[in-house]
């Protein structure tokens, strides 16, 4: 959806044309520079996709209609929130080459197809499944199985006519969420991990059921597993609500791959970095926490003792929980080839932005933290988008551990 506004800058009172390539999130905070005085102008774009309407509100500029006789302002701004915009398209009309999509095509090269598939799938899942998943999530977290069964039957994830046992209802909900995560990671990767975890837990249930149950009970009673489960589900849903940021990161990642980094200057007009930053930190913290839950399961599976770690040491779950992030990393290095996903998390960025407020300097395209740390905004978005690829593992961990509570385990 493309929109055109005539605007007057409240700083310099000059007029310009504002062309907006409307992105996919319902609410999109935007920032751009006045083409006359260069001051940063902010606003919020609200999109109603059902009725195909978008509305931009801003206290930094005034919008007006241009009469047929009067001349359009000469200068313009082209605004996109989920696409990096090459600076050469800036301010131009479509006829003059102002379309960011057209300008990006040669930069994306062979990756254009992959990107389009991922983007379309995400869009489809968000529009078709996200509202139902959001409604179902509290039922799942509160273990309200009957109403959850009804909800899932509506989106045809389980057979609503038959009485369904609890593990199957949980499976229906979790499977839907995992399917949604496929375009963020990759189908192969998600399928591989899923089968790996499924087999691991099945083997443990039949070979060491008593210890598995005991360990899972400890997670719930002493390590607040319910909180991890809740935070994981909520973080995934929040990331989907802002999936346009993931799309923007994918664009940039593919462009860098295809051009070897020589892609020219690109800009982005999002203004939601506080939100992305907190999601980034949540994903990072949850990933580190997840090691305290999956680590002892690996210990049990590979070494028959939940306290025997893969670095050769033997210590309690509590002691492991207290280790620093980098000291916990051996778990994903040693026991299972999870490195690909955990390595997507940038500890350096997390540490630099974690305790600081961060502000976006639109003119220099940089995010600047209080401690002086600076990062190019597109690099940050790319890093955020890559971090979301670990969500399917966090999801599998919460799913498998909680679901194994609902099975009858042979304890003799
Ligand atoms: Zn101005």
Q: Specify the range with the lowest mean pLDDT, choosing from 122-126, 385-389, 408-412.
A: 408-412
Q: What is the mean pLDDT of residues 370-397?
A: 93
Question: How far is ligand 1, taken at its centre, from the CA of residue 61, in Å?
Answer: 9
Question: How far is ligand 1, taken at its centre, from the CA of residue 69, in Å?
Answer: 24
Question: Token digits for 366?
Answer: 């940089």
Question: How far is ligand 1, taken at its centre, from the CA of residue 11, in Å?
Answer: 5
Question: How far is ligand 1, taken at its centre, from the CA of residue 103, in Å?
Answer: 26
Q: In this structure, are 28 and 118 located in the same domain?
A: no
Question: How far is ligand 1, taken at its centre, from the CA of residue 25, in Å?
Answer: 27
Question: How far is ligand 1, taken at its centre, from the CA of residue 37, in Å?
Answer: 4
Q: In this structure, are 211 and 69 located in the same domain?
A: no
Model pTM? Answer: 0.92
Q: In this structure, are 74 and 194 located in the same domain?
A: no
In a domain, 56, yes or no: yes
Question: How far is ligand 1, taken at its centre, from the CA of residue 14, in Å?
Answer: 6
In a domain, 408, yes or no: no
- With a cut of 70, say whether residue 336 has pLDDT above it: no
Q: What is the mean pLDDT of residues 299-319?
A: 94
pLDDT score, position 256: 96
Separation CA 278–CA 235 (nearest Å): 10
Question: How far is ligand 1, taken at its centre, from the CA of residue 54, in Å?
Answer: 24
Question: Token digits for 198?
Answer: 């499924």
Separation CA 187–CA 246 (nearest Å): 17
Q: In this structure, are 315 and 370 located in the same domain?
A: yes
Give pLDDT tens digits for 137-153.
999 999 999 999 988 88
Question: How far is ligand 1, taken at its centre, from the CA of residue 64, in Å?
Answer: 15
CB 319, CB 353: distance < 8 Å? no
Q: How many domains does the chain have?
A: 2
Question: How far is ligand 1, taken at its centre, from the CA of residue 17, in Å?
Answer: 12
Nearest in space to 33 (alpha carbons), one of 72, 75, 71, 74: 75
Q: In this structure, are 62 and 186 located in the same domain?
A: no
Give pLDDT tens digits for 217-226.
999 999 999 9
Question: How far is ligand 1, taken at its centre, from the CA of residue 33, in Å?
Answer: 8
Q: What are phi and psi of 326, to 5 degrees?
A: -70, -20
Q: In this structure, are 8 and 118 located in the same domain?
A: no
For residues 63, 268, 98, 100, the Cα torsion angle rounded to the nearest 10 degrees is -130
Question: How far is ligand 1, taken at its centre, from the CA of residue 90, in Å?
Answer: 16
Question: How far is ligand 1, taken at its centre, from the CA of residue 20, in Å?
Answer: 18
Question: How far is ligand 1, taken at its centre, from the CA of residue 242, in Å?
Answer: 30
In a domain, 227, yes or no: yes
Give pLDDT tens digits for 251-274.
999 999 999 989 999 999 999 998
Question: How far is ligand 1, taken at its centre, from the CA of residue 87, in Å?
Answer: 19
Q: What are phi and psi of 86, to 5 degrees?
A: -65, 135
Q: What is the mean pLDDT of residues 213-240?
A: 96
User: DSSP string covering 387-401, please?
Assistant: HGGGHHHHHHHHHHH
Separation CA 175–CA 392 (nearest Å): 11
Separation CA 136–CA 165 (nearest Å): 17
Give pLDDT tens digits for 55-96.
999 999 998 876 666 778 889 999 988 899 998 888 888 788
Q: In this structure, are 119 and 18 located in the same domain?
A: no
Question: How far is ligand 1, taken at its centre, from the CA of residue 13, in Å?
Answer: 6
Question: Token digits for 93?
Answer: 């009309």
Q: In this structure, are 13 and 117 located in the same domain?
A: no
**Residue 185 to residues 168, 190, 287, Cα–Cα distance (Å):** 25, 7, 15
Question: How far is ligand 1, taken at its centre, from the CA of residue 370, in Å?
Answer: 27
Residue carrying structure tokens 């970095």: 273
Domain span at residue 63?
2-81
In a domain, 159, yes or no: no
Question: How far is ligand 1, taken at its centre, from the CA of residue 363, in Å?
Answer: 13
- Give, as one character, the DSSP assignment of residue 73: P
To the nearest whole number, what is the mean pLDDT of the chain? Answer: 89
Q: Where residue 410 falls among pLDDT bands split at 50, 70, 90?
A: low
pLDDT score, position 50: 77
Separation CA 339–CA 328 (nearest Å): 13
pLDDT score, position 376: 93
Q: What is the mean pLDDT of residues 340-366?
A: 83
Residues whose CB is less than 8 angstroms from the CB of residue 394 and which lie 6 or more positions away in sequence, other chains included:
232, 235, 236, 283, 286, 287, 290
Separation CA 342–CA 344 (nearest Å): 5
Q: Specify the range with the lowest mean pLDDT, choosing from 69-78, 246-255, 300-309, 397-406.
A: 69-78
Question: How far is ligand 1, taken at its centre, from the CA of residue 380, in Å?
Answer: 28
- Give, as one character, the DSSP assignment of residue 19: E
Question: How far is ligand 1, taken at its centre, from the CA of residue 59, in Å?
Answer: 13
- With a cut of 90, say whether residue 383 has pLDDT above it: yes
Q: In this structure, are 18 and 117 located in the same domain?
A: no
In a domain, 294, yes or no: yes
- With a cut of 80, say whether residue 412 has pLDDT above it: no
Q: In this structure, are 65 and 117 located in the same domain?
A: no
Q: In this structure, are 258 and 204 located in the same domain?
A: yes
Question: How far is ligand 1, taken at its centre, from the CA of residue 30, in Å?
Answer: 16
In a domain, 278, yes or no: yes
Question: How far is ligand 1, taken at its centre, from the CA of residue 21, in Å?
Answer: 21
Strand pairing partners for 375? 367
CB 317, CB 307: distance < 8 Å? yes
pLDDT score, position 335: 62
The count of residues in the chain is 412
Q: Specify the range with the lowest mean pLDDT, choosing from 22-36, 169-183, 187-201, 327-341.
A: 327-341
Q: In this structure, are 66 and 118 located in the same domain?
A: no
Q: Where residue 48 falls among pLDDT bands split at 50, 70, 90?
A: confident
Question: How far is ligand 1, taken at its centre, from the CA of residue 372, in Å?
Answer: 28
In a domain, 318, yes or no: yes
CB 55, CB 65: distance < 8 Å? no
In a domain, 103, yes or no: no
Question: How far is ligand 1, taken at its centre, from the CA of residue 123, in Å?
Answer: 35
Strand pairing of 15-21 and 2-9? antiparallel
Question: How far is ligand 1, taken at its centre, from the CA of residue 38, in Å?
Answer: 6
Share of the chain above pLDDT 90, in %: 59
- With a cut of 70, say whether residue 155 has pLDDT above it: yes
């Amino acid at each position: 959806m493309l929109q055109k506004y005539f605007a007057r800058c409240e700083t310099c009172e000059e007029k310009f044309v504002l062309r907006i390539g409307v992105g996919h999130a319902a609410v999109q905070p935007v920032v751009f520079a006045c083409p006359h005085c260069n001051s940063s102008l902010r606003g919020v774009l609200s999109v109603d996709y059902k009725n195909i309407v978008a509305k931009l509100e801003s206290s930094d500029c005034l919008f007006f209609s241009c009469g047929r006789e009067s001349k359009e302002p000469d200068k313009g701004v082209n605004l996109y929130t989920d696409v990096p915009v090459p600076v050469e398209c800036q301010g131009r009309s479509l006829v003059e080459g102002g379309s960011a999509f057209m300008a990006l095509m040669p930069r994306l090269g062979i990756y254009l197809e992959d990107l389009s598939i991922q983007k379309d799938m995400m869009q489809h899942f968000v529009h078709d499944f996200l509202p139902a998943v959001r409604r179902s999530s509290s039922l799942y977290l509160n273990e309200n199985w009957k109403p959850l069964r009804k909800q899932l039957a509506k989106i045809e994830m389980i057979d609503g006519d038959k009485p369904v046992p609890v593990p199957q209802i949980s499976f229906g909900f979790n499977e839907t969420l995992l399917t949604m995560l496929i375009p963020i990671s990759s189908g192969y990767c998600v399928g591989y991990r899923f089968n790996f975890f499924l087999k691991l837990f099945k083997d443990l249930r039949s070979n060491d059921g008593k210890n598995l149950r005991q360990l899972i009970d400890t997670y719930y009673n002493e390590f607040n597993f319910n909180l991890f489960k809740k935070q994981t589900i909520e973080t995934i849903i929040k990331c989907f609500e802002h999936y346009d940021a993931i799309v923007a990161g994918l664009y940039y990642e593919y462009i860098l791959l295809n051009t070897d980094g020589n892609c020219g200057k690109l800009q982005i007009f999002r203004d939601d970095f506080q939100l992305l930053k907190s999601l980034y930190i949540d994903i990072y913290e949850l990933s580190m926490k997840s090691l305290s839950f999956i680590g002892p399961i690996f210990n049990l599976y590979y070494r028959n003792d939940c306290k025997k770690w893969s670095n050769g040491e033997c210590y309690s779950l509590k002691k492991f929980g207290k280790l620093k992030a980098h000291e916990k990393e051996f778990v994903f290095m040693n026991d299972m080839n999870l490195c690909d996903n955990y390595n997507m998390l940038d500890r350096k960025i997390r540490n630099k932005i974690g305790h600081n407020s961060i502000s976006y300097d639109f003119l220099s395209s940089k995010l600047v933290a209080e401690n002086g740390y600076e990062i190019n905004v597109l690099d940050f978005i790319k890093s955020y988008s890559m971090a979301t690829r670990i969500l399917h593992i966090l999801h599998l961990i919460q799913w498998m551990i909680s679901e194994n509570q609902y099975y009858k385990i042979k304890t003799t």
